[in-house]
Amino acid sequence: MLKAGGFPQIIQGGMGVAVSGWRLANAVARRGQLGVVSGTGLDQVLARRLQLGDSDGALRRAIAAFPCRATAEAALSRYFIPGGKDPCKGFLTPPMFNVNPSRAHLRFAALSAFVEVWLAKEGHAGPVGINLLEKIALPNPAMICGAMIAGVDFVLMGAGIPWQIPGLLDAVSRNESFDFTVTVEGDPAGVDVHFDVAALFPDLSPLKRPAFLAIVSSATLAQALLKRANGRIDGFVVESPVAGGHNAPPRGAVRLNERGEPIYGERDQVDPTRMVALGLPFWLAGGEGTHISLARARSLGAHGVQVGTAFAFCQESGLDPVLRANVLGRVAEGRVDVFTDPEASPTGFPFKVVRYEGTLSEEDIYAGRERVCDAGYLRRVFRYPDGRIGYRCPGEPEADYVAKGGDIEDTQGCKCLCNALLADIGLGQIRDGVAELPLLTAGDALKELPALVGEALLRYTASDVIDALFRESIAASEDAI
């Protein structure tokens, strides 16, 4: 079901921390659609999975294929525990990223992306992509490098304006060094970070340059990115405010509804005619995973749709199986609630939260959690008055944030997404014998899953989602004749 040019009609969203993991991406790609792994936090994911024992040997099989043997052996020596760690003990974790990471950390981060993409591509010829966030800039060069060593076909990025990524893809494909600018609060110039592929992996052959799809919220942003980007953009994914995870803030003054959610207006709606005028393929995302959405998107000039929520809760997703089953049970009973929280994310972007008892979506439970920042992906780089670089996150302990010059108001309602999203996939850190609790995210379409997959709701697969999307698309086309 691929169109000319090799672009698929369906893109499986890159969700959470390893919710869209290699098993899901592999299942989607086997159907000829774009299977996407989430690149967020993959160094933590690989380290923790190795400590759980890698019972089926998949991780070690991928690590054995990594071309830098020293990096592979160092990773196994440091993190692999045959039979798995004591379940009451915490995970040994990689260091937090900064503007000057060690070569060992960069190599391990590249290895973690390689493993995820290599496994996603194993055993078929379908397309595989990796999704990264502009808001988490510091790990991205290493993650992209590792993914490209594994032969990734697409790189997708949003949560900001990823104007530097096309040039980074060009440089990595040629094994060249690259300087990229990281945003620094209190310093309009930012700080330049040097990434040198040849210094990390001296014996690499030239790599295939993957297609780059920028994730945007409007045609205006897409047009601005085309003017500013330092290289080729191959297409756009255009997300509406009903998409899961992070949403772009409403344009203009922020107003809240009676539930406390941001109100989106006409300025926040996607204009497909303007996207068509840009002359590049684009995919509509956010609430596009039900009924006749694929046919509608294509009739409006889109190449297809990106679907997240429906894939996030299928059997191949990385969600903890108990969490997935419990949420789907509530969906079946018609008592699921998705709340667009304007304060939960340290990024400052609205974040969709599945309200579910026993998780950090409950304010009293989150209030009882001791604040800690030990993963640090959403830390913001800032500059002290004396010129030193520092790192702070509104989700860290309030006193620490304020001591670094942060405004105490930024911390109100702000949650530690890094630890919570790792808990979503069963990799929550253990502290004093207690595991971190999850915080689930999904799009508004979560409640519409029964209409998509029917009686298979409680145990549906990625193939079921694809079948339903194409079945509805074909039916819609026939109705139009």
Q: What local confidence, expressed as pLDDT, does residue 244 receive?
A: 63
Judge whether residue 4 has pLDDT over 50. Answer: no
284 lies in a domain? yes
pLDDT at 39 over 90: yes
pLDDT, tens digit, 9 for 90 and up, residues 385-408: 999 999 999 999 999 999 999 999
Q: What confidence tens digit (pLDDT) does each residue in 69-119 have?
A: 999 999 999 999 999 999 999 999 999 999 999 999 999 999 999 999 999
Does residue 462 sit within a domain?
A: yes
Residue 36 lies in a domain: yes
| 56: containing domain | 10-319+454-480
d(CA 32, CA 9) in angstroms, rounded, equals 9
252 lies in some domain: yes
DSSP 3-state assignment of 196?
A: strand
Q: Rounded to whole angstroms, how far apart are CA atoms 81 and 85?
A: 6
| pLDDT (tens digit per residue) in 427-459 | 999 998 889 999 998 888 888 899 888 899 999
The DSSP symbol for 174 reads T
- Distance CA(404)–CA(338), nearest Å, equals 34
| Any domain includes 28 | yes
Contacts of 442 (CB under 8 A, 6+ apart): 244, 309, 312, 313, 327, 338, 352, 354
Nearest 5°: phi and psi at 148? -70, -35
Does residue 223 belong to any structural domain of this protein? yes
Asked if 377 and 353 touch (Cβ cutoff 8 Å), the reply is: no
User: Residue 357 pLDDT > 90, yes or no?
Assistant: no
Residue 146 lies in a domain: yes
pLDDT category at 241 given cuts 50, 70, 90 is low
Residue 207 is classified by DSSP as -
Q: Is residue 350 part of a domain?
A: no
Q: Mean pLDDT across the stretch 4-12?
A: 81
Lowest mean pLDDT segment, chosen from 176-185, 244-253, 315-324, 396-405: 244-253
| CATH label of the domain that carries residue 248 | 3.20.20
Range 201-218 burial, b when 16+ CB lie within 10 A, else e: beebeebebbbbbbbbbb
Contacts of 204 (CB under 8 A, 6+ apart): 67, 149, 175, 197, 198
**Under DSSP, is residue 146 helix (H, G, I), strand (E, B) or coil?**
helix
**Structural domains of the chain, count:** 1
